Amino acid sequence: MNPHLDALVLLLAGGVGSRLNVLVQNRAKPAVPFGGIYRIIDFSLSNVANSGLKKVGVLTQYKPLSLMSHLGSGEAWDLNGRSRGVKILPPRTGAKDSDWYQGTADAVRRNIDFIRANPSDEVLILSGDHIYYMDFTAMLAFHRSKNADVTVAMMVVPLSEIHQFGAAIVDDDKRIIDWEEKPAVARTNLASMGIYVFNRQYLLDALERDQASVDFGMHVLPYAIAHHNVYAYPFTGYWRDVGTIQAYWEANMDILRRDSGISPQAWKIHTNIEAEGRLTDRPPARFGRKARLQNSMISTGCVINGTVTNSVLSPGVVVEEGALVHNSILLADCVVKKNAIIDLSICDKGVIVGDNAVLGIGANYQVKNRQHPKHLYSGITLVGKRAVIPAGATIGRNCIIHSYSQESAYTSLNLEDGATLYPDGDVR
């Protein structure tokens, strides 16, 4: 990296991520496991490290313990030492303990002392919940070449999806001349990736000028576009916001497709193997005589005696003889017992699926989850951490089994499409 293109990095990792449902009951969204051995935040952190950037502040808030444990000293990303480091910036509350960050700009404003204590020409602001590969050196060079006050990384998305993003109108020089935050009617297909480069002094001035500006997309950027130099940095690689169950499942499945554009190994994505159930202590995966595998990712410590197709298995998953796992994501230490079937499902850590149980049954994908119809609507069934599916149970499509639900919670062994089971036995 060009030493003159160094920048202070602020990694926003405090969002609740409620659309990931039970996957964030016990952890922050950036700490959700992904792609077998990784966590979502590994991608942003690895991009930082691979770009040669040295100073990172990670802004945490919601259930940060597992995230903080995962980050550790930053050694896994070569971000520790005298001249480099990862600094955990814990929540800064206001007058009330419940007065959490009101938006992205508010989160940065409440950590303005960290910016002042770490002088740099630019501040690079990232989100901790995106899956992508990016060379930030090129973006910083673009920012300087345009003499920009602010640069926003942007990519073309289908017009049907632009309502999910901040959207920009640009001139021939890539200067942003108009901005709409999550527009209902699309005037452009150029979407913000939530990656910003600010001139350091410009950012400090912007945060101090208007205390009511709490969000970059809604407040800071529109003002900057109207009064100063804001440019769009074009990005054409793989990028996905995995903030929904559907997007999370699709991105995991993308790893299994050769033409998808995602390749954690080629991207040199690092993770903290010491924190992830001590991956280095896991034995190699074992495959029994009757094991059958097709187009799947199998991590260390897995024991496969059944059939696994088009699925991603994290370390320590056991698939017993006669069992079938298809189109699914199983996090660490799940157990699929004899003759059980898992189809189009996501199971958090330590889930046990009993003998002859069926998780994801039937061809009716249309009945949305009754409690969370915007979370589960395509047929995916979701099982929380350390939940148990009793032997012989049948669980329908778009169902949710809450974390720690045990056999005693089941008043019936049949859970219909779209139902949600709670640990106390309540079904909604």
Output the tens digit of pLDDT for each of the chain's 428 residues. 555 568 999 999 977 778 899 999 988 899 999 999 999 999 999 999 999 999 999 998 878 888 888 998 899 998 987 778 899 898 755 445 455 677 899 899 999 999 999 999 999 999 988 999 999 999 999 999 999 999 999 999 999 889 989 999 999 999 999 999 888 888 899 999 999 999 999 999 999 988 888 889 889 999 999 999 999 999 999 999 998 999 999 999 999 999 999 999 999 999 998 876 666 678 999 999 999 999 999 999 999 999 999 999 999 999 999 999 999 999 999 999 999 999 999 999 999 999 999 999 999 899 999 999 999 999 999 999 999 999 999 999 999 999 999 999 999 999 999 999 999 999 99
Question: Is there a domain that residue 260 lies in?
Answer: no
* CA separation for the pair 233, 216 (Å, rounded): 16
Question: Is there a domain that residue 356 lies in?
Answer: yes
Cβ atoms within 10 Å of 325's Cβ, excluding its own:
30
Residue type, 390: P
Nearest to 153 by CA among 195, 124, 125: 195
- Co-location of 294 and 242 in the same domain: no
Q: Which of 220, 255, 290 is the last residue of a domain?
A: 255
- Co-location of 232 and 289 in the same domain: no
Domain containing 183 equals 3-255
Kindly report the pTM of this predicted structure: 0.93
Question: Is there a domain that residue 416 lies in?
Answer: yes
**pLDDT on residue 97:** 47
Query: How many domains is the chain built from?
Result: 2
314: which 2 tokens?
């994290």
- Co-location of 33 and 70 in the same domain: yes
CATH of the domain at 368: 2.160.10.10
- Co-location of 60 and 124 in the same domain: yes
**pLDDT on residue 95:** 46
- Co-location of 138 and 177 in the same domain: yes
Question: Is there a domain that residue 262 lies in?
Answer: no
**pLDDT on residue 139:** 97
Question: Is there a domain that residue 320 lies in?
Answer: yes
Nearest to 190 by CA among 142, 233, 237: 233
- Co-location of 212 and 298 in the same domain: no
* CA separation for the pair 246, 380 (Å, rounded): 8
- Co-location of 221 and 302 in the same domain: no
CATH of the domain at 251: 3.90.550.10
- Co-location of 65 and 194 in the same domain: yes
**pLDDT on residue 173:** 97
Cβ atoms within 10 Å of 221's Cβ, excluding its own:
24
- Co-location of 325 and 400 in the same domain: yes
- Co-location of 373 and 298 in the same domain: yes
Question: Is there a domain that residue 270 lies in?
Answer: no
* CA separation for the pair 347, 352 (Å, rounded): 9
Question: Is there a domain that residue 388 lies in?
Answer: yes
Question: Is there a domain that residue 28 lies in?
Answer: yes
**DSSP percent split of the chain into helix, strand, coil, nearest 5:** 25, 25, 50
Q: Which of 255, 274, 306 is the last residue of a domain?
A: 255
- Co-location of 17 and 60 in the same domain: yes
**pLDDT on residue 99:** 59
- Co-location of 232 and 302 in the same domain: no
